[in-house]
Chains A and B, each alone.
Chain A
Amino acid sequence: MSAPASALAPERVWEALAGIPDPEIPVISIVDLGVVRDVRVDDRRVHVELTPTFMGCPALDAMRARMEEVIRGLGAEPDVEVVLDDSWSTDRITAAGREKLRAAGFAPPAPRGPEPPTLVQLERGPFRCPWCGSTSTRLENLFGPTPCRSLRYCDDCRQPFEQFKTI
């Protein structure tokens, strides 16, 4: 009689998933991004709940494919479920993830308030330049290179930068 294969610990799966970079902004992992909602291990089958950021984000399929590959690499069968509910917001980006974004020149999203953002807040609110730390910045365009970012300009260091939207 052969010994039963040792069970795969969910922590091992989380650790492996934390090694997957975001396809669009590879400085941050998909775990830092907060899109992995749950991991359950059932014998050799690993069930992962993945929740998209922006609904039109084309990176979703790439994330899913990479997760499946990584789970197979652990000798398990992946079952990645895309959950289309309202459980993801930019508040789910981890503190470590926010710092990695900032260090790469992306201003991390402001915390969510009780109400959706307004133009006045985006124009007047204190948004910090990721390059020099100044809050003398202004909104250049509500939309940016991808739907998740706006464009701002820093009047102190005179650099444009990308500001993550709060959703």
Chain B
Amino acid sequence: MSDRVGLLLQLADDELILGWRNSEWTGIAPFLEEDVAFSSIAQNEIGHARALYELVARELGTDADAVAFDRPPEQYRSAPLVELRRLEWALTIARHWLYETADAVRLEALQASDDAELAGIAAKMAREEAYHRIHADMWLDRLLASDEGRPRLEEALDELWPYALGVLDDELRAEFVRRVEARLGRSQPDVDPVGRDRHEAELAELLDEMTSVRRTAPAGARW
């Protein structure tokens, strides 16, 4: 696997898996506006994954669906942060904000890449992600402003911190930590990242559910 395919798969798998996790709020979010918001965000993330899988598929001589759905769990390159199944609001907002903050650092780096195609897609993704960040920032402020929300959010941020550190590589991680500390106004613990060299047990369950239709349909079925 080329370095380029490896990098594209990290990005695509993060967006696909988090898109799926965000879509789990469709219909059951705390209120209607958030059903709509998380569903839209999920749609955007999965759209980004699709575009990135198209590039991978072109290099590997296959199609995007095969790349997205036909790999065993251990071949996914997603970060454990996006794999966790946490249908709890403070944890959802904490993950959303941590991921969008990390993703912004990553997309800025990719837009400056010598790989013109990847830089172009990153710039296009960044236009949409700007709204995800606004949404995540708005919720961060909202929870921090409430007596009940603040401790719950802080606990969630602490729980997810090692996972958040595992989204970016060594080169970009320092900038991510800097932004988190600046925004939260506190220093974050220096812990070992939970990186892409392992997966959460929830990933296999997610993939089993996500690919169930594909696995039951005859090859070449069109929808």
What is the CB-to-nearest-CB distance from B111 to chain A, in angstroms, rounded to a whole number? 9
In the complex, A147→B22 CA distance in Å? 14
Residues of A within 8 A of B39 (CB): 143
A55 within 8 A of B: yes
What is the CB-to-nearest-CB distance from A143 to chain B, in angstroms, rounded to a whole number? 4
Report yes or no: B138 in contact with A85, Cβ–Cβ below 8 A: no
Closest chain A residue to B126, Cβ basis: A116
Determine the interface band of chain A, counting residues with CB < 8 A from chain B: 20 to 34
In the complex, A118→B134 CA distance in Å? 7
Closest chain A residue to B38, Cβ basis: A143
B26 within 8 A of A: no
Report yes or no: B43 in contact with A86, Cβ–Cβ below 8 A: no
Residues of B within 8 A of A140 (CB): 33
Residues of B within 8 A of A147 (CB): 40, 43-44, 47, 128
Interface flags, B28-64, vs A, CB<8A=1, else 0: 0000010011011101111110110011000000000
B67 within 8 A of A: no
Report yes or no: B135 in contact with A56, Cβ–Cβ below 8 A: no
A55-B51, A56-B46 known; A167 vs B120 contact (CB < 8 Å): no
Report yes or no: A144 in contact with B40, Cβ–Cβ below 8 A: yes
Closest chain B residue to A90, Cβ basis: B127
Most buried by B among A55, A88, A118, A122: A55
Report yes or no: B124 in contact with A117, Cβ–Cβ below 8 A: no
Closest chain A residue to B43, Cβ basis: A56
B112 within 8 A of A: no
Report yes or no: B128 in contact with A54, Cβ–Cβ below 8 A: yes
Residues of A within 8 A of B137 (CB): 119
Partner of B124, one of A55, A119, A146, A165: A55
Interface flags, A139-156, vs B, CB<8A=1, else 0: 011111111000000000
What is the CB-to-nearest-CB distance from B220 to chain A, in angstroms, rounded to a whole number? 17
Residues of B within 8 A of A55 (CB): 44, 47-48, 50-51, 124-125, 128
A-B contact pairs, 20 of them (CB 8 A): A54-B44, A54-B47, A56-B46, A84-B117, A84-B120, A84-B121, A85-B123, A86-B124, A116-B127, A117-B130, A118-B134, A142-B131, A142-B134, A142-B135, A143-B37, A143-B41, A143-B135, A145-B36, A165-B131, A167-B128
A interface with B by C-beta (< 8 Å): 54-57, 84-86, 88-89, 116-119, 122, 140-147, 165, 167
Beyond the given A84-B117, A143-B39, please list 19 additional residue pairs across the A-B interface where CB-CB is below 8 A: A54-B44, A54-B47, A55-B50, A55-B51, A55-B128, A56-B43, A56-B46, A84-B121, A85-B120, A85-B124, A86-B124, A116-B127, A118-B134, A122-B134, A141-B37, A143-B33, A143-B41, A147-B44, A167-B128
